[in-house]
């Protein structure tokens, strides 16, 4: 897992990677179907919450790369939705395809897009604190990481 050095984002990434790993472990068993649907829903929910969270942070910080980053999220959402629909119909290979797709996509996405976003958000955070300090005000500004 590639760290972006924002604790809450890194924690969410860890949760998603663990959910992918849990799904992979269940798929390795011959009796995977009882847990497959539950784990898939958990994984999709974690991904959706995480993407929404990142997009809110990027909007709030006026990140220039938001549209590019969101397009990447939207492409992943679409692909995950397509594969999970196949899982719901009983397609045994779809679960393995989802694990493989997400393992590759998440690795690549966190290595580039999320690291770029993380650097921007950390710099934005430092700038906000600097401006607040120089202005001599005691404003509460949420810490991103």
Going by pLDDT thresholds of 50, 70 and 90, the confidence category of residue 106 is: very high
Total structural domains within the chain: 1
Q: What CATH number is associated with residue 109?
A: 1.20.120.50
Of 7, 20, 27, 37, residue with least CA distance to 107: 20
For the stretch 131-143, pLDDT in tens is 455 555 555 555 5
Task: Give pLDDT, residue 124.
Answer: 85
The kind and range of the H/E element at 27 are helix 7-27
Lowest mean pLDDT among 78-87, 98-107, 122-131, 133-142: 133-142
Per the structure, the complete domain to which residue 14 belongs is given by: 7-135
pTM reported for the whole predicted model: 0.84
**pLDDT value at residue 141:** 52
Q: Is residue 73 part of a domain?
A: yes
């Amino acid at each position: 897992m590639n760290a972006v050095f924002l604790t809450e984002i890194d924690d969410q990434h860890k949760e998603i990677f663990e959910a992918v790993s849990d799904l992979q472990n269940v798929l390795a068993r011959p009796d995977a179907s009882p847990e497959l649907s539950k784990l898939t829903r958990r994984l999709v929910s974690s991904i959706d919450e995480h993407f929404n969270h990142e997009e809110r942070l990027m909007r709030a910080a006026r990140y220039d790369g938001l549209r590019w980053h969101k397009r990447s999220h939207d492409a992943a959402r679409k692909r995950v939705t397509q594969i999970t629909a196949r899982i719901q119909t009983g397609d045994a290979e779809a679960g393995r395809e989802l694990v493989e797709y997400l393992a590759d996509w998440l690795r690549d996405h966190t290595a580039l897009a999320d690291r770029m976003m993380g650097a921007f958000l950390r710099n934005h955070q430092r700038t906000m604190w600097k401006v607040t300090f120089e202005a001599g005000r005691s404003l509460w500004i949420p810490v991103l990481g």
